[in-house]
Amino acid sequence: MNIQNKDADKQMMQDRVPELGLPSGGHYSVDHDPDDLWGDSRIIVNIGPTHPAMHGALRMVAKLNGETIEKSYCEFGYTHRAKEKLGENRTYHQFVVYTDRLNYCSALINNVTYAMSVERLMGVEVPERAVWIRMICAELARVIDHIICLGINAVDLGAFSFFLYGFHQREEAYSLIEKICGARLTTSYTRIGGLAADAPEGWEKQVKEWVKRTRKVIDEMDELLTGNKIWCQRTVGVGVMSQKFIHDYSVTGPSARAAGLNYDLRRDQPCMFYKDVEFDVPVGQNSDIFDRYLVRLEEIRQSLNIISQCCDRMKKGPIWSEDKRVRIPEKDVVHNTMEGLIHHFKFFMTGFEVPPGEAYTTFEAANGELGFYIVSKGGPAAHRMRIRGPSVYHFQTLSPLCEGGKIGDMVGILGSINIIAGELDR
């Protein structure tokens, strides 16, 4: 076809109408496209709730000019499960189950944070062995969350082997978690005042062996991608957040550390025994996708350090506080004594009472600052159970970061921010 001469083409098309059988009877025109809203061939693309690169069900609607995203808006709420309303309708004991489903890649961290927030409202002291096991579980969950974040980020940008190496280590970590609490993913392991069950004999040794193997695998994964030219070209300089941006948008966690902010709640606001273990906090410089990848990889190594130190320092002892307000009696006490039976009955029919008060308790989750703001007016259920998930504040940064970039960059940025739909929609 003669591209230069539009009129000649139009005439030629109209001449061919009878043989082509065009339905419009020959009124074929390239002048007006009804979908062209701004009159200059920019298009709206709906990167919908179901899309391979959307982690969980997120929606982004972008105005594209060629491949450049000029403006976009994001929507979520496709996995909203009303956990905050459930928090007002379930007892504190029953709510542990819902906390696993928040950041489901690292369920143990949510359990630990929730238990800490209720214990704070009640002033309950947790025994030492339970605290060490909680720390090991939290760092284990952090390692598997970072592996899955980096793995999915790599898969979106085309690197599949990285994901598979990491996933095998995740399966081994799942076996360890299964040994301690019976479930792989949705653990519901902590109880208010302690833990549901003790670690079996020799569990610490198995964890240490897993740590040794994982260190080698992480080094292999590092070699796969860090010096890789394609990876560097796709990730260096993409999705840069300045320090002002981070303060404006309340970005916390590895994304904030990759921008040079030396801020980690485990070290600055220490809880449990983080003061007694040695670990470094990796801080990046440029805050692009590449720096976030490096920060997460280094955090995995530091978490593995923490796990082996905790395994060495763990001692035998009780794993649940003996405080009568929270301690659910053992089955032999329930079946053989009257007080045990009544105590058990009251726990499960009405729930234990938390004194009136309010507190906002935070912990450094894998993604950032996970907070539980619990308002209690006495009674067995909370008056307000607010869950501050880091992903909400991080997802808000996606639109400003993608503006002016290409669609391919959007996929990389979304993976590096690590949005988990459970935490986002609650």
Partner 1 sequence: MDINTPVATIYGDLHEKQIERWKTQVSGLRERFGEKIEEVLFPREYPTDTPIVFVRADAICEVLEFLKNTPEFEYGYLSDLTATDEQEAPRFHVVYNLLARKTMTRIRLKVRVAEGESVPTAIGVWPAANWAEREVWDMFGVRFDGHPDLRRILMDVRWEGHPLRKDYPLRGYQFFPTPEPIDPSLLG
Partner 2 sequence: MSKDGSAAYFTTRVDAVVNWARKHSLMPMPFGTSCCGIEMMATLCSDYDIARFGAEAIRFSPRQADLMIVAGIVNAKMAPVLKTVYDQMSEPKWVVSMGACASSGGIFNVYSVTQGIDTVIPVDVYVPGCPPTPESLIHAVIRLQEQIQKGETLSLRRERLARAGQLKAVT
Which spans of this chain sit near partner 1 (rule: CB under 8 A)? 37, 44, 46, 61-63, 71-73, 75-77, 80, 82, 84-86, 88-89, 116, 119-126, 131, 247-250, 252, 263, 268-273, 323, 355-362, 369, 371, 373, 375, 383-384, 386, 388, 392-393, 395-396, 425
Give whichever of 210 and 393 is closer to partner 1, judged by the CB atom.
393
If DSSP states are collapsed to H, E and C, what string results for 317-366? CCCECCCCCCCCCCHHHHHHCHHHHHHHHHHHHCCCCCCCEEEEEEEECC
The nearest distance, CB 142 to partner 2, in angstroms, is 16
Find, among 55, 150, 151, 135, the residue nearest to 103 by Cα. Answer: 55
Q: Which is nearer to partner 2, 221 or 311 (CB)?
A: 221
Question: Shortest distance, CB of residue 95 to partner 2, whole angstroms?
Answer: 11
Nearer to partner 1, 214 or 252 (CB): 252
Tell me the closest approach of the beta carbon of residue 101 to partner 2, in angstroms.
6
Decide if 419 contacts 296 (C-beta within 8 A): no
- Per-residue b or e along 194-203, where b marks 16 or more CB atoms closer than 10 Å to that residue's CB: bbbebbeeeb
CB-CB neighbours of 337 under 10 Å: 12
Q: Which does 56 bind (CB under 5 to 8 A by kind): partner 1, partner 2, none?
A: partner 2
353 binds, among partner 2, partner 1, none (CB under 5 to 8 A by kind): none
Q: Which does 93 bind (CB under 5 to 8 A by kind): partner 2, partner 1, none?
A: none
- Could you tell which of partner 2, partner 1, none binds residue 412, using a CB distance below 5 to 8 A set by kind? none
| Least Cβ distance, residue 199 to partner 2 (angstroms) | 21
CB of 46 to partner 1, least distance (A): 6
Collect all residues with Cβ–Cβ distance below 8 Å to 32 and sequence separation of at least 6.
Answer: none
Number of other residues whose CB lies within 10 A of the CB of residue 188: 19
Quote the tokens at residue 287: 């805050």
Instruction: Please tell me the distance from the alpha carbon of residue 83 to that of residue 224, in angstroms, as a whole number.
Output: 40
185 binds, among partner 2, partner 1, none (CB under 5 to 8 A by kind): partner 2
Q: Closest separation between CB of residue 125 and partner 2, Å?
A: 30
| Binding residues for partner 2 (CB under 8 A) | 48-52, 56-57, 77-82, 85-86, 97-98, 100-101, 104-105, 148, 163-164, 167-168, 170-171, 174, 184-186, 421-422
Pick between residue 101 and residue 129 the one whose CB is nearest to partner 2: 101
Pair type for strands 194-195 and 190-191: antiparallel
Q: Is the dihedral of CA 11, 17, 18, 19 positive or negative?
A: positive
| In the complex, minimum distance from the CB of residue 386 to partner 2, in angstroms, rounded to a whole number | 16
> Of 167 and 263, which has the nearer Cβ to partner 2?
167
The whole-angstrom distance between residue 259's C-alpha and the CA centroid of its chain comes to: 19
What would you measure as the largest C-alpha separation in the chain, in angstroms? 99
Partner that binds at residue 167, options partner 1, partner 2, none, CB closer than 5 to 8 Å by kind: partner 2
Q: Strand, coil or helix: what is 372?
A: strand
User: Given the complex with partner 2, which of 52 and 202 has the nearer CB atom?
Assistant: 52
Q: Retrieve residue 142's tokens.
A: 């952090």
Out of partner 1, partner 2, none, which partner does residue 101 contact, by CB within 5 to 8 A per kind?
Answer: partner 2
- Return all residues near 272 (Cβ < 8 A) that are at least 6 apart: 131, 134, 135
Asked whether the CA dihedral 213, 219, 225, 228 is positive or negative, the reply is negative
121 binds, among partner 2, partner 1, none (CB under 5 to 8 A by kind): partner 1
The listed partner (partner 2, partner 1, none) that binds 396, CB under 5 to 8 Å by sort, is partner 1
Least distance in angstroms from the C-beta of 183 to partner 2: 9
Helix, coil or strand: residue 188: coil
Pick between residue 194 and residue 415 the one whose CB is nearest to partner 2. Answer: 415
Residue 389 CA: distances (Å) to CA of 132, 198, 367: 25, 29, 9
Q: For partner 1, which is the closer residue by CB, 237 or 355?
A: 355
- Of 51 and 215, the one with the shorter C-beta distance to partner 1 is 51
171 interacts with, out of partner 1, partner 2, none, CB within 5 to 8 A per kind: partner 2
3-state SS assignment for residue 384: strand
Dihedral sign (CA 94, 99, 104, 109): negative
> Which one, 151 or 282, has the nearer CB to partner 2?
151
